[in-house]
Structure 1
Amino acid sequence: MFESWKNVPADTKTKFYESKIKRHFLVDDGRDKDFVLASAARKWKDARHTLFHEFYRWDLPLEENIQNYPKCRGIPENDWVVYVQYRRKEKTQKISQKNSQNRAKLKAPHTLGSKSLARKKHELEMRDGRTYSRGEMYAVSHKKPNGSFINEDAYNNNKKLQAAIKDSVSENEAFQKVFGKEKHGYVRSMGLGVTPSQINRSTRSTSSSAESEQIKEMQEEINALKEKNSKIDELTQAIIFLTQRDKARTKEIELLMQMQNFSGRQGLESPADGRRSSESSYRIGDNGTSGGTN
């Protein structure tokens, strides 16, 4: 018997995982194993807590409480002795008292009871055939069966959360804006097996993905502008070519017209030239006869 789960040797945990889980189910030794061991730790802790409050009485002496060990639950007496001694330690009692005070201060408790958030999420996704986001699960886990929130604090938290989700890069960032940084080993509205380090990696990955998408869109816009400018350059060159060609044709037409005008002037006779030609036709020769024929 060990005082706490963290004192259980890693080999013992691995043997439990391989014999009770891996032997009967198709799982991997990464995230699945982490989830199984986290779930086992929670159930181990809750079971011991339930047994202690059911069988231990603070108004009875230690010896009598030890004699009243939960034999009917299959708990060995030696294990019960170790756990009772652990619970009676001053350090343990201070931790228990602090946890009770923290639970009393909790303004917006969840409404899932003993059902885990991961199990509830899985049930909803199987029923509706879609994925439920972290933001949606906060609302689900803080509502009554009639659909209303458990109290005003839960309602206001959800309202702030949904507004933050719209203005944030990711839901993880929105949760930190509304509720603050995640506690060690626990992430709100994600259930067992999920740690803050995993969420941070996911957030960085999401941010990097969003930045990459923005860069891709900007590059596409640049390429589109380059293509448009290329087409504009082609049109400009075409206009210049057509303009130069039209100017050349205009010069050719002007030259042809000048040549035509020049040829026309060469083909016309003046009146003086006509008279000289007529006089030479009827000039009297030396023998006294005209140059014409009879």
Structure 2
Amino acid sequence: MQMMGVAWRRWRTEVKATSYDSNIPLACVYSPYSSWVGYRSLERLCAYWKATEKSSKINRENGKNKKGTHAQGRTSIPSLEDKFLKENGRKPTRIEIMHLSRRSKKKGGAPVDAEAIRYENLLDEAVQTRLQDMAEGTQAIEVHEDAFRDVFGTEHSGRVRCLGAGALPSQVFPEQCRRSSFYNRQNYHSTLEMTNKFKEMQEQMKKDMEMRES
């Protein structure tokens, strides 16, 4: 249902981009989608868009202010995963997905903004901290999931970060959810302690960046 909702919103966006102009009277609206949507439905859509122009403008401005967001345009998370699998012979971890999806093609593959750089540094630090407590020879990707959770905390109900629409904790972490260890008290407190530690690091890095910019 989430994926259907995303597809529906994307299609409406395309219809609006090709069919709606606030300077044209509704009676004069023409759309290449008229045969699909029906003129009366299109007329109601245009009336709705006109009535919500003010809030749409505010939402667009707020969207421009978002930092560290997905920067691959219409390339979806599953597409990034599939490309990574073909190139590396394994699925990417959530840290690797985050790195891939926050890189700007216009900047030659560099992080999209300062917020993306900050999270990359936090995740790298979390990985190194986890590796210190592991046996010698442990690979970094083996602690990626725990490090990711240290920085971002446990998952919210109904979604999994960095896996796109439709991914649920019960699907991605079936064993943990079945044993209830994913949210149990012991794990909660250990994760909370690590999360608080990285929040402090996050604040310090933010202050350091502000001092450099000033």
Find out whether 1:69 has 2:42 as its counterpart.
no
Q: Which residue of 154, 163, 170 maps to 2:146?
A: 170
Distance 1:203 1:102 in 2: 36
Return 5+ residue gaps in structure 2 as ranges: 131-144, 185-214
State whether structure 2 residue 13 is matched by structure 1 residue 49: yes
1:99 matches 2:59: yes
Q: Which letter maps to 1:101?
A: E
Partner in structure 2 of residue 190 of structure 1: 163
TM normalised by structure 1 equals 0.47
Aligned-residue CA RMSD (Å) = 3.7
- Asked if the contact 1:135–1:162 (Cα under 8 Å) also holds between the matched residues in 2, the reply is no
Structure 2 residue corresponding to 1:156, chosen from 108, 118, 134: 118
Shift of 1:136: 0.8
Q: CA deviation at 1:95?
A: 4.6
What amino acid sits opposite 1:159 in the alignment?
A: N
Q: Following TM superposition, by how much is the alpha carbon of 1:144 offset from its aligned partner in structure 2, in angstroms?
A: 3.3
C-alpha distance in structure 2 between counterparts of 1:157 and 1:80, whole Å: 43
Q: How many pairs align? A: 169
- Structure 1 counterpart of 2:2, which letter? A
* Aligned residue in 2 for 1:124: 84
CA distance in 2, matches of 1:105, 1:196: 29
Task: Flag the 1:96–1:182 CA change in 2: closer, same or farther, 3 A.
Answer: farther
2:100 is matched with which residue: 136, 140, 143? 140
Q: Percent of counterpart pairs with the same letter? A: 22
Please report how far the alpha carbon of residue 61 of structure 1 lies from its aligned counterpart in structure 2 after TM superposition. Answer: 2.0
Q: What letter is aligned with 2:36?
A: G
The verdict on how the C-alpha distance between 1:187 and 1:175 changes in structure 2, with shifts beyond 3 A counting, is farther
CA distance in 1, matches of 2:36, 2:16: 14
- The answer to whether the Cα contact below 8 Å between 2:3 and 2:166 also exists between their aligned partners in 1 is yes
Residue 206 to residue 162, structure 1, CA distance change in 2 (3 Å): farther
Tell me the alpha carbon deviations over residues 98-120 of structure 1, each in whole angstroms, 9 at most, x when there is no partner.
42132111122322111111221
Amino acid at match of 2:37: I
1:216-271 Cα shifts (integer Å, max 9, x gaps): xxxxxxxxxxxxxxxxxxxxxxxxxxxxxxxxxxxxxxxxxxxxxxxxxxxxxxxx
- The answer to whether the 8 A contact 1:170-1:206 is kept is no
Aligned equivalents of 2:48, 2:95: Cα separation in 1: 39
Greater relative contact order (CA < 8 Å, ≥ 6 in sequence): 2
Structure ID, larger Rg: 1
Q: Cα gap change, 1:122/1:130 in structure 2, threshold over 3 Å: closer, same or farther?
A: same
The residue identity in structure 1 corresponding to 2:77 is L
- Alignment partner for residue 24 of structure 2, among 42, 60, 66? 60
**1:39, 1:193 within 8 Å by CA — same for their partners in 2?**
yes
Match of 1:290 in 2: none
Q: Is the 8 A contact 2:22 2:50 kept in 1?
A: no
Q: Note the C-alpha offset of 1:130.
A: 0.7
Query: Which moves more between the two structures, 198-207 or 166-175?
Result: 198-207
Q: CA deviation at 1:207?
A: 8.2
Structure 1 residues not aligned, in runs of 5+: 1-36, 212-294
Q: Name the TM-score, length of structure 2 as normaliser.
A: 0.62
Q: How far is 1:141 from its partner? A: 0.7
Please name the residue that 1:109 is paired with. Answer: 69
